[in-house]
Amino acid sequence: NAGVTQTPKFRILKIGQSMTLQCTQDMNHNYMYWYRQDPGMGLKLIYYSVGAGITDKGEVPNGYNVSRSTTEDFPLRLELAAPSQTSVYFCASRNGQGSHYEQYFGPGTRLTVT
């Protein structure tokens, strides 16, 4: 099992550009999450999904969009990138039963918007 994979690892965007951060998990997890991590600020939830076709906003959704057409994939779309979106983005997933507290994280995407 590869677990949770994210691409790209690094990206530099110019202000106003758009991009999609990819996230795939091979553990057949129902729940998937996108977080952003800024230095010294912990993890902030952007969007989450409880299953294919179902998504909902987290704490900091503005400037982002998501879709969940399959169980495995949960892409995060940035439209009109702004410097405030410079951050490290983590995708995570978890099983829908039992140990709901254990989220498995991907390695992250480091995004710089200049």
Partner 1 sequence: QKEVEQDPGPLSVPEGAIVSLNCTYSNSAFQYFMWYRQYSRKGPELLMYTYSSGNKEDGRFTAQVDKSSKYISLFIRDSQPSDSATYLCAMSATGANSKLTFGKGITLSVRP
Would you say 1 or 97 has its CB closer to partner 1? 97
The identity of residue 80, as a single letter, is: L
List of residues 6+ apart from 84 with CB closer than 8 A: 63, 113
Tell me, residue by residue from 5 to 44, as one string, x for binding to partner 1 by CB under 8 A and - for no binding.
----------------------------x------xxxx-
| Token digits of residue 90 | 């983590």
Closest CA relative to residue 74, chosen from 49, 99, 56: 49
Asked if residue 74 binds partner 1 (CB under 8 A), the reply is no
Binder among 64, 76, 106, 113 for partner 1 (CB under 8 A) = 106
